[in-house]
Chains A and B, each alone.
Chain A
Amino acid sequence: MVQVVGATTQQEVWVASRERKFIINEILLVEDQLRNSPRGEVIETYSFNRYIPLATETNGLIDEQVLAGLKAVGYSVDEEEINIAKLRIIGEISTPIGVGKQVRLPDFQEVEDLLVSNYPDYALTLGTIRGTGNLLDDLPGELSDTMCIYEQNAGIMPQDGVPFIFDYKSMNEYPHIGIFGGSGSGKSFGLRVFLEEFMKKRVPVVVLDPHWEMDFSTSFKGLPQERARDFSGEYKLFVVGVDVGVDFTDLKAAELVSLLGSGESLSEPMSNAVFTLHENKDSYTSFSSKLYGLITVMENESILNQDSAAIDNPREKEKIDYLSKLAAKYKDRVGHLSSLKGIAWRLNALEREGVFTAGTSPVEGAVMDGRLSVVRGPVKLLQVYGAYLLDRLYRNRRDYQDARQKGEPAKWFPPFVFVTDEAHNFSMKGERDSYSKRVIRGISQEGRKYGVILCMATQRPALLDDTVTAQLNTKIIFRTVRVTDINVIKEETDIGSEEARRLPYLNSGNAFLSSAITGRTIPIKIRCACTQSPHTQNPFEELEQVYFQQENQFWNIIKDKLPFSTNALHLVLGTISDELGKLIDHDQLIEQMNKLEEDGKVYAEKNPFGTTFHRSS
Chain B
Amino acid sequence: MLSDENLSGLIKGVNKSLHERTINNMPSDLRYELEQLIANITPLKIISPGKIEELSGKRPVVAVDGSFNMAGSFQPYILYLFQAYAKSSAGDGEIVSDIFSPLLPEHYKRLEKLSREENLAGVQALERVKNHILTSMELQAAANAVKKYSPWLVLFDGGFMRFSRHASQEWNEYLRLAESKGVISAGIIEEAESYGLYRVLNESRSENNTIYDREMLFGRMETGECLMLPGEKQIKSEFYTVFARLSRYPQATAYDFLPGVNMETIFNVMCFLYTITPSGSRGIPLILDIVDSEVRITRREMELLLSAYLDTGIKEKFFISHRNRRDY
- Residues of A at the B interface (CB closer than 8 Å) are 6-7, 50-51, 54-59, 61-63, 65-66, 68-75, 77, 80, 96, 98-100
Contact = CB atoms under 8 A, between A and B. Distances in A.
5 contacts: A51-B289, A69-B47, A69-B49, A74-B58, A77-B290
A73 B278 contact: no
B177 interface: no
Contact of B287 (A70, A96, A98): A70
B217 interface: no
B46 interface: yes
Contacts of A50: 293
Given A73-B60, A73-B152, A99-B304, A58 B280 contact: yes
Given A57-B280, A69-B52, A100 B308 contact: yes
Contact of A70 (B248, B286, B301): B286
B49 to A, nearest CB: 4
Given A55-B286, A68-B49, A7 B304 contact: yes
Contact of A65 (B46, B50, B301): B46
| 9 nearest CB pairs, A to B | A75-B89, A55-B278, A59-B280, A72-B49, A72-B52, A74-B90, A69-B275, A69-B276, A58-B280
Contacts of A74: 58, 60, 89-90
A75 B90 contact: yes
A66 B304 contact: no
Nearest to B307: A96
A57 B281 CA distance: 6
Interface in B302-321: 304-305, 307-309
A59 B152 CA distance: 31
Residue among B89, B286, B289 with max Cβ neighbours from chain A (10 Å): B286
B278 A70 contact: no
Contact of B304 (A6, A54, A55): A6
Contacts of A51: 286, 289-290, 293
Contacts of B305: 99
B56 interface: yes
Contact of A57 (B58, B282, B287, B301): B282
Nearest to A71: B49
Given A73-B60, A74-B60, 7 more contacts: A7-B304, A63-B279, A63-B280, A65-B46, A66-B278, A73-B59, A73-B61
Given A50-B293, A51-B293, A72-B49, A66 B308 contact: no
B251 interface: no
Interface string B50-69: 10110010111100000000
Contacts of B308: 98-100
Contacts of B276: 66, 69-70
Nearest to A101: B308
A236 B258 CA distance: 92
A66 B58 CA distance: 17
Contacts of B277: 66
B82 interface: no
B27 to A, nearest CB: 36
A56 B280 contact: yes
B272 interface: yes
A504 to B, nearest CB: 30
Contact of B248 (A7, A58, A66): A58
Nearest to A100: B308
Contacts of B272: 69
Contacts of B307: 96
B300 interface: yes
A124 to B, nearest CB: 44
Contacts, number: 89
A70 B89 contact: yes
A77 B89 CA distance: 9
Nearest to B277: A66
Nearest to A98: B308
A80 to B, nearest CB: 8
Nearest to B309: A98
Given A58-B248, A59-B280, A73 B290 contact: no
Contacts of B289: 51, 54-55
A72 B289 CA distance: 18
A71 B49 CA distance: 8
Given A54-B281, A56-B280, A63-B278, A72 B53 contact: yes
A62 B278 contact: yes
B255 to A, nearest CB: 17
Nearest to B61: A73
A419 B61 CA distance: 69
Given A69-B275, A77-B286, A55 B280 contact: yes
Contacts of A98: 308-309
B316 to A, nearest CB: 16
A70 B277 CA distance: 10
A54 B290 contact: yes
B261 to A, nearest CB: 18
Interface string B264-279: 0000000010011111
A325 B289 CA distance: 102
B61 A65 contact: no
B282 A66 contact: no
Nearest to B152: A73
Nearest to A97: B308
Contacts of A99: 301, 304-305, 308
Contacts of A7: 304
A54 B52 contact: no
A73 B52 contact: yes
Nearest to A54: B289
Contacts of B301: 6, 99
B141 to A, nearest CB: 17
Contacts of A71: 49
Contact of A54 (B152, B279, B293, B300): B293
Contacts of B90: 73-75
A536 B237 CA distance: 85
Nearest to B54: A72
B10 to A, nearest CB: 30
A74 B280 CA distance: 23
A69 B153 CA distance: 14
Contacts of B293: 50-51, 54
Nearest to A61: B280
B90 to A, nearest CB: 4
B300 A6 contact: yes
Given A51-B293, A66-B286, A75 B280 contact: no
A144 B287 CA distance: 49
B220 to A, nearest CB: 20
Contacts of A77: 286, 290
Nearest to B281: A55
Contact of A62 (B47, B53, B286): B286
B278 A75 contact: no
Nearest to B51: A72
A578 to B, nearest CB: 74
Contacts of B59: 73
A70 B89 CA distance: 7
A99 B272 CA distance: 39
A52 B293 CA distance: 12
Contacts of B52: 69, 72-73
Point out which of B48, B53, B276, B305 has the most chain A C-beta atoms below 10 A from its C-beta: B276
Contacts of B275: 65-66, 69
Contacts of A56: 278, 280-281
A77 B278 CA distance: 12
A323 to B, nearest CB: 87
Interface in B28-51: 46-50
A465 to B, nearest CB: 44
A39 to B, nearest CB: 20
A72 B89 CA distance: 9
Contacts of B58: 74
Q: Which of A56, A62, A65, A73 has the most CB of B within 10 A?
A: A73
Nearest to B275: A69
Contacts of B286: 51, 54-55, 62, 66, 70, 77
A426 B159 CA distance: 77
